[in-house]
Amino acid sequence: MSNLKALKGNVVFTPSFGEYKIVKNGYVVFEGKNVVGTFESLPEEYSAAEVVDHGDKLIIPGFVDLHLHAPQFANRGLGIDKELLEWLKVYTFPEESKYQDIDFAKKAYQNFVYELWKHGTTRSVVFATLHNESTILLMDLMDKVGLGALVGKVNMDRNCPDFYIEDTQKSIEDTESFIKATIDKYENIKPIITPRFVPTCTGELMEGLGELARKYSVKVQSHLSENRGEVEWVKELHPECSSYAGVYEKYGLFGGDVPTVMAHCVWNTAEEMELMAKNKVFVAHSPYSNLNISSGIAPVREFITKGIPVGLATDISGGHDVSMASVIAVSAQVSNMRWVYVDENYKPLNTPELFYLATKGGGEFFGKVGSFESGYEFDALVIDDSSLADVNERSIEERLQRYIYIGDDRNIVERYVAGVKLEEPKF
Ligand code: GUN
Ligand code: FE
């Protein structure tokens, strides 16, 4: 039992949607990668554990960002005066094309990885660029820091500028060599198949990627029904399919035996939602992005009611803020507005519901991640919220809520991924 460790403090997590489990002044015990359990006092059988006492601090699961674009990190806060399709053309494709240059990529990706560490995003599902070399460099950097991630080399072979487009066969071949180079290379980082979205991928490409997903048992990520102009365009491109989701489904890129996460999902039809529920397609809800590039407000509680798995996401740089705590707050705000303006049948989402989505909800895409239940991988943040204390006595729930709304990265004092403490990256 030499690997047995415990953190002591105010342990908070959400074993189910909307339900906190709080162990005040308690212990979370882990052995190697995995959680053993949470306890009010240290059980005799674990008395050999090496205990770190965090006093009155909060101990919470690490945050999971279910969708973001690493090469767009340097574009945060820029160019959010356009809707999606213009935004891609004017700001995003030119920026991503720079990652052909490995020196540029190295500097930019070091900044990106540092920021994920800083904000306590212990797991993320990441789009890189078309380029294998810089995408593998990004994975090496994340691995070195100890972060967990699924990272995709992006595919696009139509409707793109000539400086940022691939030949169909070459795109499939590059993807296969990317998978082979990375699938067994790291402990907590894996490749994910990443067709950018239907408008930039031919049927032939999507079919080839669907085959690779099955051949290598690799997961899939893409974008779905994000913005009105995009949804109209997909209808024109694929009149043979009855929905946008149906295009991915046709090419074997929509859940079922290939675990899939789709970003945004703002404008899905009832038929699409049925397919998402049946195939257990995850939604990466990205409210900052949906606000910035005028996409809309996703029907998150409706997804959950219908049995569709949901996690939260920054969608850097459609979204401008790396902090998943901030994404929880803005998710609450947009859900309030959806209830007021769009659909009073689904009540707003509250903090423990959104905290669940930012931890265990998104974590389920990885497996047993995002909770302190026995057998989960031990991903954790230690939060010192003493700078937020004020004239009132506060419950643990209230302290967590205040950290989410008014705290920031300075309140995070330790980070763990799969049982390992992450030191500050020094590149
Ligand atoms: N759809 C296709 N590509 C992108 C992207 O980079 N960002 C967002 N928000 N949507 C997309
Ligand atoms: Fe995106």
Mean pLDDT (whole number) for 293-303: 98
pLDDT at 80: 86
Take atom 8 of ligand 1 and give the residue whose Cα is closest: 318
CA triple 283-200-170, angle to 5 deg: 110
- 327, pLDDT greater than 90: yes
Residue 2: predicted pLDDT: 63
Give the residue numbers spanning the domain of 268.
63-363
Q: What is the CATH number of the domain that holds 108?
A: 3.20.20.140
Residue 427 lies in a domain: no
The whole-number average pLDDT for the span 163-177 is 98
C-beta separation of 42 from 84 below 8 A: no
Taking residues 267-278, what's their average pLDDT? 98
Structural domain count, the chain = 2
Q: Which ligand is nearest to the CA of 263?
A: 2
Whether residue 161 lies inside any domain: the answer is yes
Instruction: State the distance from the centre of ligand 2 to the C-alpha of 69, rounded, in angstroms.
Output: 6
In this structure, which ligand is nearest to the CA of 68?
Answer: 2
Tokens of 177: 């060599």
Residue percentage of the chain with pLDDT more than 70: 100
The pLDDT value recorded for residue 248 is 98
> At 1, is the pLDDT very low, low, confident or very high (cuts 50, 70, 90)?
very low
pLDDT band at 146 (very low <50, low <70, confident <90, very high): very high
Eight-class DSSP state of 293: T
Cβ-proximal residues to 395 (8 Å cutoff; 6+ apart), any chain: none
Whether residue 426 lies inside any domain: the answer is: no
| Amino acid letter, 160 | C
pLDDT mean over 22-28: 98
Ligand 2 geometric centre to CA of 132 (Å) = 19
265 CA distance to ligand 1 middle (Å): 12
| Residues 58, 76 share a domain | no
Q: Report the C-alpha gap between 312 and 65 in whole angstroms.
A: 6
Across the chain, mean pLDDT equals 98
Exposure string over 53-73, b if 16+ CB within 10 A, otherwise e: ebeebbbbbbbbbbbbbbbbb
At which of 316, 344, 363 does a domain end? Answer: 363
Q: How far apart are CA 244 and CA 403, in angstroms?
A: 38
pLDDT in tens, 96-130: 999 999 999 999 999 999 999 999 999 999 999 99
Mean pLDDT over residues 61-66, rounded?
Answer: 99
User: 325 with 210, same domain?
Assistant: yes
ipTM of the complex: 0.99
